[in-house]
Chain A
Amino acid sequence: MSRATAIDLCYLVAIAAFILALKGLASPRRARLGNIIGAAGMVVAIGATFAQPNLAHLWMIIVAMIIGLVIAVPAARLVKMTAIPQMVAVFNGVGGGAAALVSIAEFISPAYRGAATYKVVEVLFGVLVGSVSFSGSAIAFAKLQELMTGRPITYPGQQALNAVVAACVVGLAGAVIATSSAPILWVLLIAALVLGVIFVLPIGGADVPVLISLLNSFTGLAVAASGFTLDNNLLIVAGTLVGASGILLTRMMSQAMGRSLPNILFSAFGSVVSASGGTEGPEGRSVRSGTPEDIGVLLAYARKVVIIPGYGLAVAQAQHAARELADTLMARGVEVFYAIHPVAGRMPGHMNVLLAEANVPYDELKEMDEANPQLPTTDVALVVGANDTVNPAAKSTPGSPIYGMPIINADQAAHIVFLKRSMRPGFAGIDNELLYDPKTVMLFGDAKDTLQKLVTAVNDA
């Protein structure tokens, strides 16, 4: 067997491993195994690549990989679980950047002179999609990391500017095809980076994770394009797998929020909201606010308590305090479970990860569909740092931007307790009727702090 055949066989093994990895990751029982299979496939693929004949610059490759390793491992190990979404954005962005660089490097190599038109198109696609993914992910990171406002950014003439930049990109792409000019490709790279930024700016709030999933899919396609450029089946298949499954995943994520993908991408969510959601503003309506002691008694003598966690619980690192409160209540014979909205936290599934970190047993976590039938018989719904996911406007107000999103029916519980830092609206930026409900009591303050006070109060009750 020739060396080239052996390498190709290794690549085939890697391809099979990636398919198994994706299949595993989609099933709860085999998710971790799937990830390990994927990593093993990656090791095989990279190992085989080192066996390529005439591989020069070996030390440079190794140094570059060590640099990447030294940065990535601590970053991935030390990042807080609450910051996972932005970490995924970073790792996705660098992948897109790498794909763009690979395409450019191939284009400027002397061997590439006079290549067929379709080869140029492959390069263009890799550069364009890779750069959009890179700069778009950078902005998504900045939004989630709160380096800039998380709200949608809109400005006059936004549509016109977007159209102009998009037209520039198309024009430059045409020019590169016509002339095969490297300088024009560099200009195109810059235009594509700008396009990525202005594409992401108007997307904000709860939509950013869906956006990251879409950019993840883009990076996959950019990798596939690089595979075409390099005549490499492994890159084509792996990139396409991620591209195709990523689009599907993005659709599933937007469906979980009850919205369509175009709506998320092009509607500048938050700005529309203030216009349409302002009809029933909070003016002149009163909010009942309670003390931890009152609520402690209420909880201690309840029969069934539902904890509805949201991102506020995550930022306050209150998952352990929430578990402590649940344990305290259960020790008194109160029935307690957690109702998890599919998009609680900042990404679908995010809240499950956070609560699992606090060793909350799985049978206490109930998904929305399982939890909702229980709420009419629930004595207290304890909403910890959540807002939009319990907002009845999603069911009752057709004009509301979250109308149609499935919610947890906290309003059906006998009492509703909101643990919130302030009256500020949630991630989606809209007012919540439920806060003004006569059944509702507010407990203002840091979620962790308040939960600890509640534990004490329950013990004293």
Chain B
Amino acid sequence: MGGGILQYVTVFVLAVFVGIEVISKVPSILHTPLMSGSNAIHGVILVGAILILGHTNTVPEEVLGFLAVVLATLNVVGGFVVTDRMLEMFKGKPGDRAQTPRADGEPGGRT
């Protein structure tokens, strides 16, 4: 094993901890938007798909890369748009200052 892979493994392990830490407490009302939002984030595979298609020179790779870019774009775009639509619903009515849903598990929050 080279030093390179060890660096990547280090990054991986740290990212596991960050991933767990960052969402430690989520009100149940946000479970669905969070799932959908993180779904959009793994659409970053689009970067990998572009790199594959951009650095290839055989036909089978081109076909796979092309398909991968299409699928990954679906993931990214669809993911963010659907999440935004969901969260749009949580917005207060025009003129309503409170942008937060009240039933959010934050007792004592402003109303």
Q: Which residues of A contact B (CB under 8 A)?
A: 14, 18-19, 21-23, 25-29, 31-32, 34-36, 38-39, 42, 45-46, 49-50, 52, 54-58, 60-61, 64-65, 67-69, 71-73, 75-77, 79, 81, 84-85, 87-88, 90-92, 94-95, 97-99, 101-102, 104-106, 108-110, 116, 118, 209, 212-213, 216, 219-220, 222-224, 226-228, 230-246, 248-249, 252-253, 256, 340, 342-343, 347-350, 352-353, 356-357, 359, 362-363, 365-367, 370
Contacts and interface: CB of A to CB of B under 8 A. Distances in A.
Given A29-B99, A72-B77, A99-B48, A105 B61 contact: yes
Contacts of B48: 98-99, 102, 223, 226-227, 230, 232, 235
Nearest to A233: B11
B29 A352 contact: yes
A72 B81 contact: yes
Nearest to B91: A32
B74 to A, nearest CB: 5
A242 B67 CA distance: 23
Interface in B45-85: 45-58, 60-62, 64-85
Contact of B84 (A32, A249, A343): A32
B32 A91 contact: no
Top 9 closest A-B pairs, CB basis? A68-B73, A244-B19, A240-B15, A348-B31, A95-B75, A64-B69, A76-B81, A362-B102, A356-B89
Contacts of B66: 60, 64
Contact of B90 (A31, A71, A108, A237): A31
Contacts of A95: 39, 42-43, 45, 71-72, 75, 79
A231 B69 CA distance: 18
Contact of A28 (B11, B27, B39): B27
20 contacts: A31-B90, A32-B88, A35-B84, A38-B41, A46-B50, A57-B54, A57-B62, A67-B70, A68-B76, A98-B45, A99-B48, A216-B39, A220-B42, A226-B45, A235-B47, A244-B16, A248-B24, A347-B35, A352-B103, A353-B32
A102 B36 CA distance: 22
B46 A98 contact: yes
Contact of B29 (A28, A32, A104, A253): A28
B96 to A, nearest CB: 9
B55 to A, nearest CB: 7
Interface in B1-53: 1-2, 4-5, 8, 11-12, 15-20, 22-53
A61 B49 CA distance: 9
Contacts of B26: 26, 249, 252
Contacts of B89: 81, 352-353, 356-357
B18 A241 contact: yes
B38 to A, nearest CB: 5
B81 A110 contact: no
Interface of B is mostly: helix
Interface of A is mostly: helix
A108 B73 contact: no
Nearest to A134: B71
Contacts of B86: 81, 84, 353
Contacts, number: 396
A249 B75 contact: no
Instruction: Kindly name the residue among A58, A61, A256 whose own CB sees the greatest number of chain B CB atoms within 10 A.
Output: A61
A241 B30 contact: no
B103 A365 contact: yes
Contacts of B67: 64, 98, 101
A99 B45 contact: yes
Contacts of A353: 32-33, 86, 89-90
B93 interface: yes
A243 B88 contact: no
A356 to B, nearest CB: 4
B47 A91 contact: no
A72 B39 CA distance: 14
A45 B29 contact: no
B44 A223 contact: yes
A248 B88 contact: no
B103 A26 contact: no
B55 A55 contact: yes
A319 B34 CA distance: 23
B84 to A, nearest CB: 6
A73 B56 CA distance: 28
A97 B72 CA distance: 8
B30 to A, nearest CB: 6
A441 B74 CA distance: 47
Instruction: Kindly name the residue among A25, A219, A359 whose own CB sees the greatest number of chain B CB atoms within 10 A.
Output: A25
B37 A25 contact: yes
Given A232-B51, A348-B28, A35 B58 contact: no
Contacts of A235: 44-45, 47-48
A49 B46 CA distance: 10
A362 B106 CA distance: 13
A347 B47 contact: no
B76 A42 contact: yes
Given A87-B78, A223-B44, A241-B15, A98 B71 contact: yes
